[in-house]
Amino acid sequence: MLRLIFRLIFFFKGWKLDDALLKEHNISRCVMLAAPHTSNWDGVILIAAFQKMGAPVRFTLKKEWLRFPLNYLIGPLGAIGIDRSPKDGSKDRISMVDAMADLYKDGGEMYIVIAIEGSRSPRDEWKTGFYYVALKAKVPILCGYLDYKTKIAGVGKIIHPSGDLEADMREIVDFYRDITPCIPENFVLDKKYQ
């Protein structure tokens, strides 16, 4: 039901879809970047856009968020609970990167969406965990975007992680340079990779 409401919002707000890259490439597993992320509306538009694309989008959060009654609301939207507790009886927790990379092990379709800024507030240093997840899981990174100026939502670039974080991050930052966010003052490009 929520997905239908999101799709109606997408339509009535006049958004268009850019799914040419997904149609051109047969990608079943990836890390999907979601940027710019400056407003709660971004999540609504994003879910509607990816649903319209037919992308099997999932997002991660602490497993505790998927308890009753929230599991009935956010579970159907694609939430995956991450359990970082030790698997071998030790006291060491596994890293978030390892926990997320493990989600790709079953071989099925998986698009894990990550907001690279890590916040809706302005940040001039982006999170890079997504890069290491893609590298470890051996999946491409898709640059998903929401451009509020043109009202186009889609995927604009595919990056296959080379292992050179700096070079790949420069390419990602460069892609998002001309994308207009919902709240422009809340979107800052990562200063290290400009």
Task: For 54-87, write each residue's pLDDT tens digit.
Answer: 887 776 666 666 577 766 666 666 666 666 566 6
Helix (H, G, I), strand (E, B), or coil: what is residue 157? strand
Task: For residue 191, give the DSSP letter.
Answer: G
Beta bridge partners of 111: 30, 57
**pLDDT given at position 191:** 92
Tell me how crowded residue 121 is: count the other CB atoms within 10 A of its CB. Answer: 11
All structural domains of the chain with their residue ranges: 2-193
**Least confident residue range of 9-23, 93-107, 150-164:** 93-107
* CB neighbour list of residue 30: distance below 8 Å, 6 or more residues apart: 110, 111, 112, 134, 139, 140, 141, 142, 158
Higher-confidence residue of 27 and 85: namely 27
**pLDDT given at position 128:** 92
The two three-digit tokens of residue 21, written as one number? 């890259």
Q: What's the pTM?
A: 0.85
